[in-house]
Amino acid sequence: MNARFAVLILFISSTGWGLTWLPLKKLNDMGLDSMQLIFIAFISGALVLSPWLYRQYPQWKYKIRFIILIALAGGFANASFQTAIYHGDVVRVMILFYMLPVWSVIGGKIFLKEKIDARRILAVLLSLSGAFIILEVWNTSWQGITYIDFLAIGSGLGLAATNILFRFTQETPLASKVASIFIGCTVIIGSVLFIQSVFLSAPIKELPSNELAISYAMLYGAIYLVLITLGTQWAVTQMEAGRSAIIIVMELVTAVVSIAILTYVDLKAYEILGGILVVSAALLEGIRDDTVKDVTLTEKQPA
């Protein structure tokens, strides 16, 4: 498969992730809070993908350890990021999450033996600089580290680990791996809601009577999230981990630009500069035409 086609798919999927604020805002306005929305969306996606997980069992049964690791890493990345965004300072969380290229480049070097050349280092520096400029790092207070900060950092680490695991298991069907992410996130969010209710005496908020909101949340998870997750994770398996992580930062540019356009807010000069840096980094990596070698781990199967 042409590497540049995978880059295109990752650009499109990252744009989709950058636009998720639109359905989230609409569903929040309709009465669904963050935790309810995440749980409904991911359990809907899990239900849609579960038939493939079951049907493809013979193809992944000898690699179940990796399916479990993907469920844990991917589920944690999604659940922790959404929880951090809901309870913490959005800008601070985003800054910590978008350390993703650093973790991916380091992880790619350690686990996948990927080469870190001057071009990749420059792309990482450009993407981080652009993200930090857009997010106004200089206006963020860094006093009082809390568990939210660890969740934000952990979500970036979890996504980097997920992408590396997808590369390690290229022979395992994509749908099964994506299904495990949705199941993992559903289990983690469900466990958090249960613990809050039973041990922290925090009653679970009742679902709104607006059945349309619940239906939209189900469609959001079963169609929109499933498609952009499949696109992202397929593309990730076709390129180096460090390269994909740099392109994924395009989510941030998409989010900022779309919010500016749809809410009629003028972009500030520093936001435009940050966007140019991120786009430059993505293009720098995107125009590579590298061939990704197969790094699938093989396990001894029983006779």
- Would you say residue 70 lies in a domain? yes
Q: Tell whether 293 is covered by a domain.
A: no
Please report whether residue 298 resides in a domain. no
Average pLDDT value for residue range 27-55:
91
| Residue 29 domain-assigned (yes or no) | yes
pLDDT tens per residue across span 173-187: 999 999 999 999 999
Residue 303 lies in a domain: no
Total structural domains in the chain? 1
In tens, the pLDDT along 244-265 reads: 999 999 999 999 999 889 988 8
Return all residues near 70 (Cβ < 8 A) that are at least 6 apart.
Answer: 162, 165, 166, 169, 177, 180, 181, 184
Residue 13 within a domain? yes
Query: Does residue 228 form part of some domain?
Result: yes
Residue 294 lies in a domain: no
User: Is 43 within 8 Å of 75 (Cβ atoms)?
Assistant: no
**Residue 144's domain spans which residues?**
3-286
Tell me the CA distances in angstroms from 6 to 12, 30, 164, 236, 266, one per residue in order.
10, 36, 16, 8, 33
Kindly tell me the burial class for residue 104, based on how many C-beta atoms sit within 10 Å of its own C-beta (0-12, 13-18, 19 or more).
buried
Residue-averaged pLDDT of the chain = 88
pLDDT digits (tens, 9 = 90+) for 118-171: 999 999 999 999 999 998 888 877 777 888 899 999 999 999 999 999 998 999
